[in-house]
Structures are given as C-alpha cells and as structure tokens.
C-alpha cells in the first residue's frame, strides 16, 4: 500500500519552509497543548484546538441545552428562563474545556452523577461526528490564519481521541488524507513511565473520555461481569478508571500506525527539553531525519 508523501519530506525542506504547519497528536497530558501554547506565544503561530472547535462550533448548542434542562428543574431558574430574563451558555476556552467534558459524561449510577448507558452512547456518537467535522475544518483554518491574520505558521492541537475516528491503516482514509495534505502529523510518544504517571493522574481525577463504540461496549460488558453489578448501579468514576488503562493500551498501536504511515514521532522527553519554538522546530527536523 502507498500512503501520501509527507508535506515536508525531509529536514532540509522543513527547515527552509516559510510556512510550517503541524498537527500534534497523542495521549492527553504528554505536551500537545503545552507546545501549542508555547508556539502561539511566539506570535508567528496560529493555534487551532480541535477540542475547542468541537465544544463551540459543533456541540455548543447541545452543551447549553443540557445546562438549560438542569436549570428548568429549579423553579426560580425555570421562571427566569421562560421569561427570557437570564441567559445560560457554556464558557469554553482553550484553557477550560470542562463544559464539553461534563456534557460527554460518564455512564452509571445517576445518583453519583452518571448517565444512563443509552444516553452515554448517544453523546459518544455526537462527539465522534463533531470530531470528524472539526478535524476536516483544519485546512480551512490554515487558509484563514494566513489570508486574514497573516500567520506564517500553524499548529493544530488535536484531541487524544483522534485515533478513534480515523483508520491509519487505510491509505485513503478521508480525514488523514486531508490532514496530511495540509500539515505534518507529529506523534508525541510517551514512555512506560509516562503511562503510569498518566494513569495515576487519571485515577486521582477521572474525567470523561471518548472511545470507539466497540471498545466502549467491550469495556462495559467486562466491567459489569467482573463487578457483578447492573447497569444502573455502576460507579461512574470506577468505570472510567477501568476503561482508561485499557484505552491507553488500545490507542498506542493506532498512534504508532498514524506516525509510521502518515507522519513522524517525537518523544515526550524530547518535547519536555524543547523549551522554545526554535528548539521544537529543530526537534521536528530531527524526527524527519529519523524517517
């Protein structure tokens, strides 16, 4: 099988390019957003956040409507809403994506903040649709960043779930084809030590995640069987902790295939040492030299 060529085939081409365009992918917590902010602060890079785009353009109304459903259960707020006396909306920023995460939710016991499994499945699919659209919007934002704002360089901060909506083994995958035609895909790869640290961090503060439907269903069935509980009695935090470690193991081969077939790899250690835009640009050049 033949995959599309890299936008920058080698380090020399990358170094000489007047417009540098990259998409960062990998597990959350390994440096995607940190690098994106560092590049943005330089003043020459446009920062496109896929999660921000999902939460504003594609799921903003769903999120706000969910807030309103909860407000309508409170008599005083219900009266104010019905009389158009108050406005309820989400305040998503690059630094605060909590409204999107909260809407996505966790399945299980509603008394513990969980969602009925059917509602959870529906919201997972809504996120998948939104993520595909937000990723396909990236080339348009590259053009806008240059034509309207005059940014020479572009960084796309993709969500950790990008591997859930693409097939890196398909040379004709429509999303990856569009992305690779516009940017260099850069995998920030973590070590085993990073994996354990991410699991520890997640266990302290479990948060909603988005997975492929077959993966979610397999984890859900396994969790119910192992714990001998019915769907309505599942502890939401216990389930997402259960799924997270399994997701890390499932995502690594997908990330690796994305890097091998469509992009390049840098390590989280290398990213941590690249403390300036110039250092990160050099790091990407070395990744291209490694092939």
Mean pLDDT of 57-69: 96
H or E element at residue 285: helix 277-290
DSSP 157: E
Residue 273, number of CB atoms within 10 A of its CB: 11
- Three-class SS state of 209: coil
- Three-class SS state of 49: strand
> Does 44 score more than 80 pLDDT?
yes
Q: Where are the alpha helices (DSSP H) in 42-137?
A: 50-53, 60-71, 75-82, 98-104, 117-136
> Does 1 score more than 80 pLDDT?
no
Closest to 255 measured CA to CA, from 135, 176, 162, 139: 162
> Does 273 score more than 80 pLDDT?
yes
- Tokens 């997402």 sit at which residue? 240
- 112 Ramachandran zone, left/alpha/beta (phi>0; psi -120 to 50): alpha
- Angle between helix axes 32-41 and 277-290 (nearest 10 degrees) is 130
pLDDT in tens, 164-189: 999 999 999 999 999 999 999 999 99
Which pLDDT score, from 0 to 100, does residue 95 have? 86
pTM above 0.85, yes or no: yes
Q: Rounded mean pLDDT of the chain?
A: 96
Mean pLDDT of 215-232: 97
pLDDT in tens, 88-107: 989 999 889 999 999 999 99
pLDDT in tens, 4-35: 999 999 999 999 999 999 999 999 899 999 99
> Does 227 score more than 90 pLDDT?
yes
């Amino acid at each position: 099988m033949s995959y599309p060529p890299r936008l920058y085939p080698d380090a020399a081409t990358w170094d000489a390019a007047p417009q540098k365009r990259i998409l960062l992918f990998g597990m959350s917590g390994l440096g995607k957003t940190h690098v994106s902010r560092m590049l943005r602060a330089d003043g020459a890079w446009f920062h496109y956040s896929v999660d921000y785009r999902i939460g504003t353009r594609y799921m903003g109304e769903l999120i706000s409507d969910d807030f309103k459903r909860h407000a309508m259960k409170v008599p005083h707020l219900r009266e104010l809403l019905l009389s158009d006396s108050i406005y309820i909306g989400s305040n998503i920023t690059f630094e605060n994506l909590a409204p999107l995460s909260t809407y996505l939710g966790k399945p299980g016991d509603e008394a513990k903040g969980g969602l009925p499994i059917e509602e959870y499945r529906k919201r997972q699919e809504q996120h998948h649709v939104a993520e595909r659209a937000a990723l396909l919007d990236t080339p348009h934002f590259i053009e806008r960043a240059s034509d309207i704002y005059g940014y020479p360089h572009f960084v796309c901060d993709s969500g950790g779930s990008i591997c859930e909506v693409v097939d890196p083994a398909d040379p004709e995958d429509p999303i990856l084809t569009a992305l690779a035609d516009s940017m260099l895909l850069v995998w920030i790869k973590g070590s085993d030590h990073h994996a354990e640290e991410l699991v520890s961090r997640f266990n302290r503060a479990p948060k909603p995640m988005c997975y492929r439907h077959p993966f979610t269903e397999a984890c859900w069935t396994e969790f119910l069987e192992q714990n001998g509980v019915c769907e309505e009695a599942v502890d939401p935090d216990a389930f997402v902790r259960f799924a997270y470690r399994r997701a890390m193991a499932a995502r690594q081969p997908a990330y690796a295939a994305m890097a091998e077939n469509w992009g390049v790899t840098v390590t989280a250690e290398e990213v941590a040492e690249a403390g300036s835009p110039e250092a990160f640009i050099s790091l990407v050049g070395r990744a291209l030299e490694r092939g």
